[in-house]
Amino acid sequence: MPRAVVLVRHPEGAVTEADFGIVELPDAPCPAGYFRTRNRVISLDAGFRQWMTAGAGDNYLTGMQIGDPVQSIVLGEVTESRHPDYPVGTLVSARTAWEECSLLDGSDLCSPLAVSPEIPLYQYMGVLGPTGMTAWVGLFKIGQPLAGETVVVSAAGGAVGTVVGQLAKAEGCRVIGLTSSRSKADWLEQTVGYDSVIDRETQPDLASALKAAAPEGIDIFFDNVGGEALDTAMGQLREQARLVLCGAISQYESAIQPLTNSWELITKRARMEGFMFSDYFDSFPEIAADLQRRLQDGQLKSFDALYEGIEQTPRAFCDMMHGASRGKCLVVLD
């Protein structure tokens, strides 16, 4: 029987593996207008932590309920179909759940995927999937970088951060990362290509470290973490700076931090804008083509932390949330 990972309790504070359980999926017929997938790759995305909290739910997604399979973006292969647009054998990307097979109707960020046999399938859930789209949309549509500008990226060693850093570097920007440990910072500088990286382990005074790394100030702050990092960056902007609000992971498992430097946005004529990658769903084919070209040119590299088997999903998610993995965290099911 195919299995799924369900929420057994709402996480309080740091999410743990004990917040999840594995169940067998009941047999369900495939109704007209639906198709069934055998899932091949699960994408672990930090943002879903927001909707695991008790009482969560907003204009974007409903909160997850106890006993429900955990929401996620998944790559699957159609094995049974009563939907004209998704014949058997089609590969699809969709927002579904941590489960080995799904019953879908083609809605909820669902689209067929054309894949190249030269590219590992899992990369279509990472650099060529929602992660790459998020980095691309946030940097190019919201940040709009110019050569020579200074770009600072928080959670630089994660899925979105490793892609943003490489894209900004390719635009001729000076790219500074923020991360948790010195070993991750060294990897980001030596392997991913960041010009310099500030780590919380050996440089706890972020304001001084940022001043030393970007003495002229920040042109673009690509923010994945919110809270203190965002507030500190707000105090060190150049004129016409752009703050790209992609995520706020430092706030997902702890109390919301107040922001105190908003006055700087006024005097620096800065723009701060949030976005959801899904707003650009219709542009995905062109964005994916651009990312694939960069990947094949060698301008972009894919950094992935791979886990195998549905039972590894809770561990993979906790590792990703708490900085134990590097690059894109994925679970491969076959």
Ligand X SMILES: NC(=O)c1ccc[n+]([C@@H]2O[C@H](COP(=O)([O-])OP(=O)(O)OC[C@H]3O[C@@H](n4cnc5c(N)ncnc54)[C@H](OP(=O)(O)O)[C@@H]3O)[C@@H](O)[C@H]2O)c1
Q: How does DSSP assign 147-186, residue by residue?
A: TT-EEEESSTTBHHHHHHHHHHHHTT-EEEEEES-HHHHH
State the burial class of residue 60 (Cβ atoms within 10 Å of its Cβ: 0-12, 13-18, 19+): exposed
Q: How many residues bind ligand X (CB under 6 A)?
A: 27
Question: Is 129 a residue that touches ligand X (CB under 6 A)?
Answer: no
We find the least distance from the C-beta atom of residue 300 to ligand X, in angstroms, to be: 15
- Which of 11, 129, 143, 157 binds ligand X (CB under 6 A)? It is 157
- Output 145 or 158, the one with its CB closest to ligand X: 158
DSSP 22: E
Question: Is 189 a residue that touches ligand X (CB under 6 A)?
Answer: no
- Output 101 or 234, the one with its CB closest to ligand X: 234
Question: Is 126 a residue that touches ligand X (CB under 6 A)?
Answer: no
We find the least distance from the C-beta atom of residue 162 to ligand X, in angstroms, to be: 8
We find the least distance from the C-beta atom of residue 272 to ligand X, in angstroms, to be: 14
- Alpha carbon distance 175, 173 (integer Å): 6
Question: Is 73 a residue that touches ligand X (CB under 6 A)?
Answer: no
- Alpha carbon distance 106, 110 (integer Å): 5
We find the least distance from the C-beta atom of residue 250 to ligand X, in angstroms, to be: 4
- Output 2 or 193, the one with its CB closest to ligand X: 193
- Alpha carbon distance 165, 224 (integer Å): 12
Question: Is 16 a residue that touches ligand X (CB under 6 A)?
Answer: no
Q: Which of 214, 213, 251 is nearest to 230 (CA)?
A: 251
Question: Is 132 a residue that touches ligand X (CB under 6 A)?
Answer: no
Task: Choose the stretch contacting ligand X; rule: CB under 6 A; options: 4-12, 23-31, 120-128, 153-161.
Answer: 153-161
- Which of 145, 158, 165, 314 binds ligand X (CB under 6 A)? It is 158
We find the least distance from the C-beta atom of residue 163 to ligand X, in angstroms, to be: 9
Long-range (24+ apart) CB contacts under 8 A made by 179-187 are 179/155, 179/323, 180/323, 181/323, 184/157, 184/323, 184/326, 185/157, 187/157, 187/326
Question: Is 292 a residue that touches ligand X (CB under 6 A)?
Answer: no
Tokens 């500190």 appear where? 232
The alpha carbon of 285 is separated from its chain's Cα centroid by a whole number of angstroms, namely 18
Compose the 203-242 pattern: x for residues touching ligand X by CB under 6 A, - for all others.
---------------------xx-----------------
- Alpha carbon distance 41, 61 (integer Å): 22
- Which of 134, 150, 166, 313 binds ligand X (CB under 6 A)? It is 134
Q: Which of 281, 259, 167, 260 is nearest to 222 (CA)?
A: 167
Residues near ligand X (CB under 6 A)? 45-47, 131, 134, 155, 157-161, 179-180, 184, 224-225, 246-250, 275-277, 320, 323, 329
